[in-house]
Amino acid sequence: MNSDLSGYRKSYEKGALLEGELPNDPLDLFTKWFAEVDNTEGVEEVNAMTIATIGTDGFPKNRVVLLKHYDNKGFVFYTNYNSEKGKAILNNPHVCISFFWPNLERQIIIKGMANKQSEELSTTYFHSRPRESQLGAWASDQSTEINSREILTKNLIALKNQYKDKEIPKPPHWGGFVIIPETIEFWQGRPNRLHDRMFYKKNTNNNWIHKRLAP
């Protein structure tokens, strides 16, 4: 099979990112862009992000997860710590997350270190989830091989009966990772493939500095 995609082309013309518009703190720009994308039709889950990890087999792997919180301490998502990505992060905390928002022709790429979030914060978030999602965290031994989907269904039914009219405890193997950013790159599509790329990095005084990169 040979599929020639060379004719797939698009001109990016929905915005610009100029030096005079850059705040000192990249989190301010992230917040601005996030709100603008969220208020523009075209993206159903604005908080969907791709996370890249280095697996225990030495290979990189990407997958989409959901950002659930961010502040000046970092970017938080939740997972099963025993999953493939959980084990990869615990073995090598260097990760990269990226957001692609085609409705405004924007990307954000963030490299940093991922650390486990506190049990207290993970437990608080766990109990804010729908009850079915709480049960799902127990029902699936994430990333392990199973013979059929019926196993998950049976597990879920058994758990519903076990915790009927009871609080569901947070699994000890489930919780949040907070990604502490070391670099943040903002990418705005421009015509003629001459895109705007603004790159933030912390200096030795732990202050953010930025520069423009060639597209």
Contacts of 189 (CB under 8 A, 6+ apart): 12, 13, 14, 15, 105, 106, 195
pLDDT, residue 63, reads 98
What percentage of the chain has pLDDT greater than the value 70? 100
Sign of CA dihedral 206, 177, 97, 46: negative
- Catalytic positions, please? 193
Contacts of 48 (CB under 8 A, 6+ apart): 64, 65, 66, 67, 99
User: How sure is the predictor about 143, in pLDDT bands with cuts at 50, 70 and 90?
Assistant: confident
User: How sure is the predictor about 170, in pLDDT bands with cuts at 50, 70 and 90?
Assistant: very high
Computed over every residue of the chain, the mean pLDDT equals 96
Q: pTM for the complete prediction?
A: 0.94
Which pLDDT tens digit goes with each residue over 54-70? 999 999 999 999 999 99
Amino acid at 65: V
CB atoms < 10 A from the CB of 184, how many? 24
Which helix (H) or strand (E) covers residue 88, if one does?
helix 84-91
User: How sure is the predictor about 1, in pLDDT bands with cuts at 50, 70 and 90?
Assistant: confident
- CB-neighbour burial class of residue 134 (10 A; exposed 0-12, middle 13-18, buried 19+): buried
